[in-house]
Amino acid sequence: MRALSKLKLLRPPTSDEQLAAMRKHVRDHATDRPGVYRMISADGEIVYVGKSKRVRTRLLSYFRAAFPEEKGARILRDAECIEWEYVPSEFAALLEELRLIKRFRPRFNVAMKRDARNYCFLKLTKGPAPKFVVVRGAGHDDSSAYYGPFLGALSVSEAVRELNDVLGLRDCANDQRMHFADQPELFEIFPRTPGCIRFEVKKCLGPCVGGCTAEQYDERLTMARAFLDGIDDGPMERLRREMEQASERLEFERAAVLRDKLKRLEALRAQFARLRFAVETLSFVYTVPGFDGDDRVYLIRRGCVRAERSLPRTPAEAVHLLGLIDDVYTPAQHTNGQIPTHEIDELLLLSSWFRRFPEELDRTSASGTPAALDAAS
């Protein structure tokens, strides 16, 4: 993969003649309306995807880059043609740009960084003895489980470390070798010393050293997931019991440590509950005026566009849309804290959009029946 991109970088830069031809093409054909565009190299690679409220102005700006090291100039030197499509609005352009970036992964696009600085997620790794890691957004790994979004990567990392300690979950390197107690040793004798001290101080079940069976580790993991889903207080009850027992044994120092941990977990639970609520609030019907009257209705649920239609102009179209609204919003709301990987980028994008333009919320209807439908009925 690395070798391939090196080869692509060695491609000769686009000639001045070709650049002039591309510029003329934009001048002659592009108009100022919302759209998405693609910069395509001589061998057909989509090297960049962009969007704009005014496609023509935006595309012509690339040709005005003053210095060759500017990003726009570098993209053009790698592209041999520009293609674009119009969409009804800036919002539609944002959505389409995101979809194209996810599909083609152009190398000049700094992938999906919107709002990623504000949020983080908890990702559950795959493989034997999965563990939680704090990440800024979804990678290309569609099968991992993600929880969130959360605000404040640092405090989430600390809270997760404590959740790991309480439940004995591992937090070591991905490639740490696991050896469960019920795992038969076939040809290789694994060293029976843990990769870290956490097993010795009872903060990890020690799946690396035969300290637990795969089932025992899974049970603790299920408990952690249920906690993050907001449906189980198991970890806190466990700590509370330990704290009470320590108090009864007059081990006040230990009881105080457990009390502090309990507080952190309570904070994590409260934080998680707050942010889960934030995701739920991104559920509404959003009516967006479009270029030349191409108005659209977006059915957004849990931070994702579930369906999109033209704004109805006739009673029959209105009835059809109401049926669709029913389909999208009626099924029981799934309330766990898990976010499907493929929805994370869109959730971040929508969250960013409504944070930047809070007045757009006036065009939304939480009731599921947009006011604009009245005109058609």
172 binds ligand SF4 (CB under 6 A): yes
Choices 61-69, 75-83, 201-209, 266-274; region in contact with ligand SF4 by CB under 6 A? 201-209
Number of amino acids touching ligand SF4 (CB under 6 A): 13
Kindly state the tokens that stand for 96. Answer: 């389409």
CA distance linking residue 129 with residue 171, whole number of Å: 10
**CA–CA separation, 377 and 372 (whole Å):** 10
Decide if residue 130 touches ligand SF4 (CB under 6 A): no
The residue within the footprint of ligand SF4, chosen from 176, 216, 247, 369 (CB under 6 A), is 176
- Report d(CA 153, CA 135) in Å as an integer: 8
Measured from the CB atom, the residue of 55 and 208 that comes closer to ligand SF4 is 208
Nearer to ligand SF4, 190 or 252 (CB): 190
Residue 131 vs 363, nearer CB to ligand SF4: 131
Of 162, 87, 91, the C-alpha closest to 132 is 162
| CA angle in degrees (0–180, nearest 5) for 91-340-108 | 55
In the block, which residue shows the tokens 């990623």? 116
C-alpha distance from residue 248 to each of 234, 239, 254 (Å) = 21, 14, 11
Regarding 171 and contact with ligand SF4 (CB under 6 A), the answer is yes
**What's the token pair of residue 223?**
């408990």
Considering only 91, 146, 199, 354, the residue that binds ligand SF4 (CB under 6 A) is 199
Q: Please report the sign of the dihedral spanned by the C-alpha atoms of residue 235, residue 222, residue 163, residue 251.
A: positive
Nearer to ligand SF4, 147 or 199 (CB): 199
194 in contact with ligand SF4 (CB under 6 A):
yes
Residue 50 or 130 having the CB closest to ligand SF4: 130
Stretch that binds ligand SF4, among 25-33, 194-202, 305-313, 347-355 (CB under 6 A): 194-202
User: Among the candidate windows 21-29, 80-88, 188-196, 367-375, which touches ligand SF4 by CB under 6 A?
Assistant: 188-196
Q: Give the angle 233-334-304 at the CA atoms, nearest 5°.
A: 125
Instruction: In angstroms, give the least distance from the CB of 155 to ligand SF4.
Output: 21
CA distances from 243 to 211, 256, 268 (A): 24, 8, 19
Binding status of residue 220 toward ligand SF4 by CB under 6 A: no
Rounded Cα distance between 110 and 106, Å, is 9
Told to check if 198 binds ligand SF4 by CB under 6 A, we report: yes
Q: Report if residue 290 touches ligand SF4, rule: CB under 6 A.
A: no
User: d(Cα 163, Cα 225) in Å, to the nearest integer?
Assistant: 11
The residues binding ligand SF4 (CB under 6 A) are 170-172, 176, 194-196, 198-199, 204, 206-208
